[in-house]
């Protein structure tokens, strides 16, 4: 060993430290110069991967990298669904989003993902809400297939205009599979991994969790935060009276090819605990397969959006209700029934958590993780917002399992100024 405790040795020490500092600086600066960090990078998947948007145009997703961590959050976008021509063309309430595909500048457009500000999980510097994953690598998975990120089927819909049929590429599952392959090949294994999504993205992040987790093989913790896209228990041997979501599940299995040879149900069939005749069995099969992972489910008890999508088209007494008030009442009755049968089953696994406040005066009480977390608390439990639930999920605290019993106080509780302004704009121009 060279002696450093002499005048000459001190000089050598200084030179050694300078060289080491230079090497360290180079190790940081060189990657920054050769890769795009802290900006949204557009990834266009080739047709050979099977990926496509609903109109057959290329599927694009977006990556925002940081050189300081391998931790990665994947956000699945939400937005309607379809199994008829009009809805697949984006027409009507709850129709499929992005029927004309995803542009290369999708994250730079205000009327789509709003520069990533649509959710706190995809904004580096969010003026409305902070979450720790804003310091992670971020992946934004747009939704453009009308199949809640789960389909793998080419369909033709001509019920509205037979002369001009809609050829619909229900390729949501193929898109997620190809995106995960790209992420593993180009970004390697993540450290911590979070899969999250809202509405249709809540369904997609749950349904494709095993696919993505196994392909990315994180070296640290893996977690799911599924927002307002529940896969309720609905065994095919049951009835609609027993399981209100059963007619919906039967419909999407057929039209989106879930049971086809390369479909999602078929792909998940090898997971222990999966009942191929019950889409809701994934709620217990995933936590059992990955006992060290955390699975968090959040939704509003008064959700009037996903619940509408789940029941209105399948129950004549709902679609033909005399008033909107009666329709909402009938829809919520089934929603409450589904929730009451879902949580006890999911709760049989010790690594499952849930947060179910009742109402928020925004977006028909649909989605807790869009814009900010104002109005997402369960005050009777002294929980001010969704934020501690997210921290608990990532930190592996004792799983939080809370459902708000008070169905009155939230009706007069306000939301943030930003959300109030946005709600006014949507009401004015929607």
Assigned domain for 137 exists: yes
pLDDT value of position 213: 98
- Taking phi over 0 as left and psi of -120 to 50 as alpha, with beta for the rest, 285 belongs to alpha
- Mean of the pLDDT values across residues 47-70? 98
pLDDT value of position 425: 67
* Per-residue pLDDT reduced to its tens digit, 138-157: 999 999 999 999 999 999 99
* Per-residue pLDDT reduced to its tens digit, 260-284: 999 999 999 999 999 999 999 999 9
Domain CATH number, residue 336: 3.40.50
Contact 156, 167 (CB under 8 A): yes
Assigned domain for 165 exists: yes
pLDDT value of position 108: 87
- What does the block give as tokens for 283? 């709620």
* Per-residue pLDDT reduced to its tens digit, 329-369: 999 999 999 999 999 999 999 999 999 999 999 999 999 99
Assigned domain for 16 exists: no
Residue 165 DSSP label: -
Closest CA to 301 of 204, 376, 193, 231: 376
Assigned domain for 301 exists: yes
For tokens 């699975």, what's the residue? 295
Who contacts 233 (Cβ-Cβ below 8 Å, separation ≥6)? 243, 278, 280, 281, 283, 341, 342, 345
Assigned domain for 11 exists: no
Assigned domain for 99 exists: yes
Helix or strand run (H / E) with residue 227: strand 222-227
- In this structure, are strands 294-298 and 222-227 parallel, antiparallel, or unpaired? parallel
What is the model's pTM?
Answer: 0.91
pLDDT band at 18 (very low <50, low <70, confident <90, very high): very low
For tokens 């063309």, what's the residue? 89
- Mean of the pLDDT values across residues 236-259? 98
User: How far apart are alpha carbons 157 and 218 in whole angstroms?
Assistant: 40
Distance of CA 390 to the CA centre of its chain: 14
pLDDT value of position 429: 52
User: How far apart are alpha carbons 167 and 115 in whole angstroms?
Assistant: 30
Assigned domain for 5 exists: no
- Mean of the pLDDT values across residues 76-88? 97
Please determine, for residue 115, whether its predicted confidence score (pLDDT) is greater than 70. Answer: yes
Please determine, for residue 25, whether its predicted confidence score (pLDDT) is greater than 50. Answer: no
CA atoms within 13 A on the CB side of 403: 11
Closest CA to 142 of 181, 193, 185, 100: 100
Assigned domain for 292 exists: yes
pLDDT value of position 428: 61
Please determine, for residue 313, whether its predicted confidence score (pLDDT) is greater than 90. Answer: yes
Report how many domains make up the chain.
1
Task: Please state, in angstroms and as integers, the Cα–Cα distance from residue 354 to each residue in 134, 227, 364, 376, 393, following that order.
Answer: 22, 10, 20, 13, 10
- Mean of the pLDDT values across residues 179-205? 98
Domain of 377, in residue numbers: 46-429
């Amino acid at each position: 060993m060279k002696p450093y405790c002499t005048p000459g040795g001190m000089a050598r020490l200084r030179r050694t430290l300078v060289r080491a500092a230079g090497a360290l600086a180079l190790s940081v600066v060189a990657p920054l110069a050769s890769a795009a960090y802290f900006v949204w990078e557009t990834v266009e998947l080739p047709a050979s991967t099977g990926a496509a948007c609903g109109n057959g145009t290329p599927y694009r997703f977006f990556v925002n990298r940081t050189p300081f961590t391998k931790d990665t959050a994947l956000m699945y976008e939400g937005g309607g669904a379809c199994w008829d021509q009009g809805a697949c063309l984006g027409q009507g309430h709850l129709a499929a989003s992005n029927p004309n595909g995803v542009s290369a500048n999708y994250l730079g457009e205000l009327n789509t993902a709003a520069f990533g500000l649509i959710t706190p999980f995809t904004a580096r510097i969010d003026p409305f809400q902070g979450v720790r994953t804003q310091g992670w690598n971020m992946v934004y998975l747009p939704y453009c297939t009308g199949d809640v990120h789960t389909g793998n089927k080419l369909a033709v819909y001509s019920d509205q205009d037979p002369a001009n049929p809609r050829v619909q590429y229900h390729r949501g599952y193929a898109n997620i599979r190809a995106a995960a392959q790209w992420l593993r090949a180009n970004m390697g294994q993540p450290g911590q991994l979070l899969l999250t999504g809202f509405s249709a993205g809540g369904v997609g992040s749950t349904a494709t969790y095993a696919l993505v987790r196994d392909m990315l093989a994180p070296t640290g913790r893996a977690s799911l935060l599924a927002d307002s896209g529940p896969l309720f228990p609905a065994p095919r041997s049951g009835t609609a009276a027993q399981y209100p979501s059963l007619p919906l599940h039967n419909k999407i299995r057929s039209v989106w090819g879930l049971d086809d040879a390369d479909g999602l149900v078929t792909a998940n069939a090898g997971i222990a605990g999966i009942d191929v005749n019950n889409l809701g069995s994934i709620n217990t099969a995933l936590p059992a397969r990955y006992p060290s992972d955390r699975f968090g489910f959040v939704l509003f008890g008064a959700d009037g959006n996903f619940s509408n999508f789940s029941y209105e088209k399948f129950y004549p007494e709902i679609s033909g209700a005399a008033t909107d008030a009666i329709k909402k009442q009938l829809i919520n009755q089934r929603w409450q029934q589904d929730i009451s049968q879902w949580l006890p089953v999911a709760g049989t696994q010790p690594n499952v958590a849930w947060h179910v406040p009742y109402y928020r005066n925004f977006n028909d009480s649909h989605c807790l993780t869009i814009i900010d977390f104002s109005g997402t608390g369960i005050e009777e439990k002294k929980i001010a917002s969704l934020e501690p639930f997210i921290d608990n999920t990532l930190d592996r605290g004792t799983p939080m399992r809370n459902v708000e019993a008070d169905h009155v106080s939230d009706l007069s509780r306000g939301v943030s100024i930003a959300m109030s302004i946005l709600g006014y704009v949507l009401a004015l121009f929607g």
